[in-house]
């Protein structure tokens, strides 16, 4: 038997109703913050992620789905392509390719699948879905302002509240800039040199390739060592320090609760200054419901102009998991089950269904060979409110038997009044 590949899953009804409910609510929120949708390809040139996300990250060094795409003709050159592991690099590529700086400040959002070859577990998949947003533009558009950071964070709080998700924590940090981070990395390497041999193999590798990532280590034995390491907060230069204070001042003023976590580092290399995650207590080991931050140097790293930006991506799989709502509660039930009764009645039932659906009613159609008892069984199993009986007599008289399954009441309704009767509570 052929099954879905490891780490992927089918989303089936009624759960898909929950996904649609989330996406509709999120689109509503984006609209009021003047964000507009962007759709980029689900695969890109591999170089985009190597340069954008960073060669030394786990994502690029071991989690990407990459293949060599051969040219179809001798003259076509082949290229290395990769299923996107995230969408920020793709959005910034599009920003450069389409000269979006000419529009000033861009406020963009996307909803779609991402791909990472991670060890699957609850809340962690190889194909997962992100709802993300990016604010990017030339500095005169205000893209660099701490007001953007605070606005994005406030939008996220609003969004989670709107979905009825409580119990989230906003963890906030400043990871410095290319001006002050080198000194921190140096200090980190120095502090690690005498102790790293006693740490886990992941940390030993990180100490060489990307020492900042050591703060992400979850191995209990390593924690006392990590606790004593220097922190980025001690190395922030004046500009970064002021910027971080300005972001927090706005958050305080608009009463968005947050926790400064000076151990917060992110798994992608492009971040500078503000970095954040929202965690949720109901999620277990994979408790980050979303993550994001500033990436002021990314456009330049990809060959574009200076374009400060900030954004986030919500793990939609995890967002849906943390909803209190049930799929049933957001699934629309059929309003009416149309039961054609006897030979030749299918076409009359089809015409009625067409009329009723034009009134935005959800109509389910049976078949003329079904006995009435069977139609009632199907209708009540689907929790349909009405059954409409379409027999020879009804068609001829133009008046139809309409039975309310919940109350058992049956009435005769003229064709022209059917929609209104079914709509009325």
Binding site for ligand HAM (CB under 6 A): 86, 88, 116, 118, 123-125, 128, 130, 132, 134, 267-268, 288-293, 295, 311-313, 315, 317-318
User: Is the CB of 88 or the CB of 141 nearer to ligand HAM?
Assistant: 88
How far apart are CB 297 and ligand HAM at their closest, in Å? 13
- Shortest Å, Cβ 122 to ligand HAM: 10
**Whole-number Å distance between alpha carbons of 339 and 141:** 61
Three-state SS at 382: coil
Owner of token pair 């929790």: 383
CB-nearer residue toward ligand HAM: 206 or 318: 318
**Shortest separation between residue 315's beta carbon and ligand HAM, angstroms:** 2
CB-based contacts of 365, cutoff 8 Å, min separation 6: 337, 338, 340, 349, 350, 353
Nearer to ligand HAM, 163 or 289 (CB): 289
Q: How far is the CB of 21 from ligand HAM (least distance, A)?
A: 18
The half-sphere exposure of 406 on its side-chain side, counting CA atoms within 13 A, is 8
Q: Give the nearer residue to ligand HAM in terms of CB position, either 298 or 353.
A: 298
- The three-class DSSP label of residue 355 is helix
Could you tell me the smallest distance in angstroms from the CB atom of residue 295 to ligand HAM? 6
Cis peptide before 200 (omega within 30 of 0): no
Tokens of 253: 């003023």
| Cβ 309 vs Cβ 92: under 8 Å | yes
Residues across the chain: 425
Listed in sequence order, the DSSP H helices in 359-391 are 372-381
Q: List, in sequence order, every beta strand (DSSP E) within 162-317.
A: 168-174, 259-260, 272-280, 288-294, 309-315
At closest approach, how far in Å is the CB of 379 from ligand HAM? 39
400/193 Cα distance (integer angstroms): 85
Q: How far is the CB of 256 from ligand HAM (least distance, A)?
A: 18
Q: How far is the CB of 188 from ligand HAM (least distance, A)?
A: 21
The least distance separating ligand HAM from the CB of residue 290, rounded to whole angstroms, comes to 5
| 3-class DSSP assignment, residue 148 | helix
Question: What is the DSSP track for 40-66?
Answer: --SEEEHHHHIIIIITTSHHHHHS--E
Cβ atoms 266, 294 nearer than 8 A: no
Interatomic CA distance for residues 342 and 340, integer angstroms: 6
**Beta-carbon-side half-sphere exposure of residue 120 (alpha carbons within 13 Å):** 11
DSSP string, 99-124: TGGGGSSEEEEEEEEEE-----BTTB
């Amino acid at each position: 038997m052929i099954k879905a590949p490891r780490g992927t899953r089918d989303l089936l009804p009624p759960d898909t109703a929950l996904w649609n409910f989330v996406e509709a609510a999120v689109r509503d929120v984006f609209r009021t913050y003047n964000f507009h949708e962007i759709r980029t390809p689900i695969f890109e040139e591999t170089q985009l992620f190597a340069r954008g996300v960073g060669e030394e990250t786990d994502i690029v060094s071991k989690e990407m789905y990459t293949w060599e795409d051969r040219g179809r003709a001798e003259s076509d050159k082949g290229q290395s392509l990769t299923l996107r592991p995230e969408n920020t690099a793709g959005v910034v590529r599009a920003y450069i390719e389409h000269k979006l700086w000419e529009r000033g400040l861009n406020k963009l959002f996307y909803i779609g699948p991402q791909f990472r070859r991670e060890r699957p577990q609850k809340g962690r998949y190889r194909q997962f879905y992100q709802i993300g947003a990016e604010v990017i533009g030339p500095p005169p558009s205000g893209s660099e302002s701490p007001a953007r950071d605070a606005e994005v964070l406030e939008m996220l709080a609003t969004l989670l509240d709107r979905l009825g998700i409580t119990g989230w924590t906003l963890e906030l940090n400043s990871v410095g800039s290319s001006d002050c981070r080198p000194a921190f990395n140096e200090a980190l390497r120095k502090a690690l040199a005498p102790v790293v041999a006693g740490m886990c193999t992941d940390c030993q590798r990180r100490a060489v390739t990307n020492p900042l990532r050591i703060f992400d280590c979850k191995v209990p034995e390593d924690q006392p060592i990590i606790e004593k390491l220097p922190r980025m907060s001690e190395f922030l230069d004046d500009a970064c320090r002021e910027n971080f204070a300005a972001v927090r001042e706005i958050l305080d003023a608009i009463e968005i609760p947050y926790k400064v976590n000076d151990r917060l580092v992110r798994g992608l290399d492009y971040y500078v200054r503000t970095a954040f995650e929202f965690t949720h207590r109901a999620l277990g080991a994979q408790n980050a419901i979303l993550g994001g931050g500033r990436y002021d140097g990314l456009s330049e790293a990809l060959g574009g102009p200076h374009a400060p930006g900030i954004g986030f991506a919500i793990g939609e799989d995890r967002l849906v998991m943390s909803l209190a709502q049930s799929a049933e509660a957001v699934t629309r039930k059929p309003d009416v089950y149309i039961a054609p009764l006897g030979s030749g009645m299918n076409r009359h039932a089809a015409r009625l269904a067409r009329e009723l659906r034009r009134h935005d009613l959800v109509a389910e159609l049976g078949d003329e060979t079904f006995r009435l008892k069977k139609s009632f069984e199907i209708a009540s199993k689907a929790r349909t409110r009405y059954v409409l009986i379409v027999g020879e007599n009804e068609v001829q008289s133009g008046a139809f038997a309409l039975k309310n399954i919940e109350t058992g009441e049956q009435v005769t309704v003229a064709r022209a009044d059917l929609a209104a009767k079914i709509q009325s509570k």
